[in-house]
């Protein structure tokens, strides 16, 4: 088994990820791309380097490096830096499918495989030209065309009519609708582990509130000076309000994120808080 992961400007996830991989994927080779982190912090990895490019591009390059020395039947696992297994990872996870991957239905119905966790074989990945970059698009549940990490992989799957196994959120208890996710009782994904914890949902809600404020203007746009003035004032007031709300949301999310990370550091079975209703 070969596991590829990316850590960016924060080394605090390296040790928890190592512990859970040793527990639930013993013997796997870990391939890591790190940035802004001392390479010595990831000395346990089979391969570690500061690679160029975006997160998806780094995953693609790591997979190419794996393929250069692995057998086609070897398992290939993609894992976000702030994610790790909480149950044994074996070929049985595939359940007869060529690919099993997290699908974040809770994030505005995103349909694509997500590299929080994905498992396949080296041979299958190479045969389809696997690609984690965005590009292939779809209509989101808000009616807008969008693409995101994993978009091109979704395009490959749809073009070739390949069935894959989605690993869905299985939390029995949620502290947040997006963060701190358990998927298929197999993997934990913290969410926003390497950035300010503002979700797509929160950002879109802020944009909608600004748009609604402008659309509520009472002076017709046909009255050029007054119409523009009212809309400008409404926009600025609503934008400031939305920014304050998002900043407050980010502060609350960061405090909760830090609290959960403390559980990860001190409780080997912390994840039971999310999957055991009686925890």
Q: Domain residues of the chain, as ranges? A: 2-195, 196-279
Instruction: Check: pTM over 0.95? Answer yes or no.
Output: no
The pLDDT of residue 225 is 79
Q: How far is CA 221 from the centre of its chain?
A: 42
The pLDDT of residue 248 is 81
Q: Are the C-beta atoms of 42 and 15 separated by less than 8 Å?
A: no
Pick one of 3.40.50.1110, 3.30.70.260, 3.90.550.60, 2.60.40.10 as the CATH number of 2-195: 3.90.550.60
Rounded CA separation 30/44 (Å): 8
64 Cβ neighbours under 8 A, 6+ residues apart: none
* pLDDT tens readout for residues 198-210: 665 555 555 666 5
Q: 3-class DSSP state for residue 234?
A: helix
Q: Are the C-beta atoms of 68 and 84 separated by less than 8 Å?
A: no
* pLDDT tens readout for residues 231-242: 788 778 777 887
* pLDDT tens readout for residues 249-269: 788 888 999 999 999 999 999
The pLDDT of residue 158 is 98
Q: What is the dihedral of CA 96, 3, 112, 205, to 10 degrees?
A: 140
The pLDDT of residue 173 is 95
The pLDDT of residue 113 is 98
- Give every residue of the chain whose pLDDT is below 70, as ranges: 198-214, 218
């Amino acid at each position: 088994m070969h596991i590829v992961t990316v850590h960016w400007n924060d080394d605090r996830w390296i040790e928890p990820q190592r512990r859970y991989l040793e527990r639930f994927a013993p013997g796997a080779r870990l391939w890591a791309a790190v940035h802004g982190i001392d390479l010595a912090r990831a000395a346990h990895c089979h391969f570690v380097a500061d690679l160029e490019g975006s997160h998806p591009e780094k995953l693609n390059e790591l997979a190419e490096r794996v393929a250069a020395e692995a057998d086609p039947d070897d398992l290939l696992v993609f894992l976000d830096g702030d994610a790790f297994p909480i149950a044994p990872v074996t070929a049985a996870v595939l359940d007869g499918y060529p690919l099993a991957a997290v699908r974040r239905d809770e994030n505005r119905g995103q349909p694509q495989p997500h590299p929080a966790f994905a498992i396949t074989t080296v041979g299958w990945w190479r045969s389809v030209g696997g690609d984690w970059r965005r590009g292939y698009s779809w209509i989101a549940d808000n009616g807008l065309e969008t693409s995101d990490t994993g978009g091109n992989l979704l395009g490959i799957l749809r073009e070739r009519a390949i069935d894959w196994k989605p690993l869905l959120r299985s939390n029995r208890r949620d502290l947040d609708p997006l963060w701190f996710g358990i998927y298929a009782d197999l993997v934990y994904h913290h969410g926003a582990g390497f950035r300010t914890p503002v979700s797509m949902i929160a950002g879109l809600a802020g944009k909608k509130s600004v748009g609604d404020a402008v659309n509520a203007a009472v002076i017709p746009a046909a009255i050029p000076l007054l119409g523009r003035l009212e809309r400008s004032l409404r926009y600025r007031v609503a934008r400031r309000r939305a920014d304050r709300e998002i900043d407050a949301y980010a502060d609350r999310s960061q405090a909760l994120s830090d609290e959960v990370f403390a559980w990860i550091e001190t409780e080997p079975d912390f994840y039971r808080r999310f999957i055991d209703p009686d925890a």
